[in-house]
Amino acid sequence: MGNKERKSRRKVFRLWFSKRRSRADASHLSEISDDDGQDDECMNGLSVRSLDRGPCILNNELRIFVGTWNVAGRSPVGSLAVDLDEWLNLKEAADIYVLGFQEIVPLKPKTVIGAEDPTEATNWNVLIGKTLNSKYGGAWLTPMVNPITNDDYRYYQAAESNTRLRSDYEIVSARGQSRTEYKISDCVGSYKLMASKKMVGVFISVWMRRTLLKKYCVSEVKVSSVACGIMGYLGNKGSVSVSMSIGGTSFCFVAAHLASGEKKGDEGKRNRQVTEIFRRTSFPRPSEDCHKNHPLSILGHDQIFWFGDLNYRLYLEDNLARELIKKKNWSALQEFDQLGKELEDGGVFQGWQEGDIEFAPTYKYSSSNCNRYSGGLPSRAGEKQRTPAWCDRILWHGKGVKQLSYFRSESKFSDHRPVSALFSVIVEDQKCAHSSLVPFPPFSPLHNS
């Protein structure tokens, strides 16, 4: 086939697609990238390879910010916004923010055994939303109630008009019995709350740039929680997880709080809890779900991030640890790190990765508003003697993940320092399939009410 004939066929095909696209429902348009260059590339590929009927796969890079913070049972207050801004490192904005918290409520019998109270989770989401979106101006999503009430829910993307966002999003249980609605506004912020889940004091909150919802098909947003604390089933320790697919890539984010203790053998308790979380975390599919390939377990996902107060300590006497900390000899200190040894020996997280730690241990500080580690000499009356350790960690697993930075922030809000990592990830975007030139959303869009 000559070049002129190829160009002619290409032109006809593009005109046909343009007409079909203009007739498509607005909800379908919201699933198509507004990047003309990418659409052209995809269409060119289809017109040339029309006989092989294969998908047009585009690999795209996203930046994901993952953070973890044990807030020691303290409620978020207005003055915390400055600390949050520093933690989220807004000078280098990411496409997705995944934030894990531990002890957002005090771990007392009432909170551990009693019914879940959504108040603190909602307060944290409000503050996170303000912090992320105030940088970019405009109104932002304000949750009216606790974002998640079920362990299995679906994310529905609404159609957007040129004048306003008619409706934002809702969360529906697998049986369709409960619904959580959010306030809407004519001018919404740059970041949207995609999912959050609370179990006693463990809490996860996932935010995404709104522009990504136009560029990618975001589907199968699900949550799961595993309690493995007191007696092996109470929620003072355990994990909350979020699973989702972005384009053709599946993601799993696991926020965990593992067993405390620095006695010999305590690391074994933490290892067992990690095993339990892997074993018991599940993202079941409803029987009517047509997305049969979405992973059911943590390890079934393409890219996985595990973070939290993992509580692994140092195999080192307190005075020797403090001496190395004073010298800022982080490489020498890492030789005695329990989690590093477990990773090296394959005790847990076999095949997982963690970046080089080039910051001081994040636990345990004497009190809030203090830069001094608890205990040590001279000791203070009533103060707990604790060997400083890197309790707050971020690990990852999967192809196409590159860590760009790994750091701690200096908020004195609690006895832990926040820890964060910025990642570059590759997302496989299957935009064009032979069966349909206009990609359909994974679920029916919301109808305007």
What is the DSSP annotation of 1-41?
Answer: --HHHHHHHHHHHHHHHHHHHHHS-HHHHTTS---HHHHHH
Instruction: Enter the tokens of residue 33.
Output: 């990238």
* The pLDDT of residue 353: 96
Helix (H, G, I), strand (E, B) or coil at 159: coil
* The pLDDT of residue 292: 66
Q: Name residues of the chain where pLDDT drops below 50.
A: 2-4, 6-7, 10, 13, 16-54, 137-187, 432-449
- Supply φ then ψ for residue 407, to 5 degrees: -150, 165
d(CA 278, CA 387): 29
CA distances from 68 to 99, 138, 418 (A): 6, 27, 6
Say whether pTM exceeds 0.85.
no
* Radius of gyration for the alpha carbons in the chain, expressed in angstroms and rounded: 24
* The pLDDT of residue 347: 86
Question: Do the Cβ atoms of 169 and 182 come closer than 8 Å?
Answer: yes
* The pLDDT of residue 26: 36
CA distances from 132 to 89, 191, 307 (A): 10, 7, 21
d(CA 394, CA 302): 17
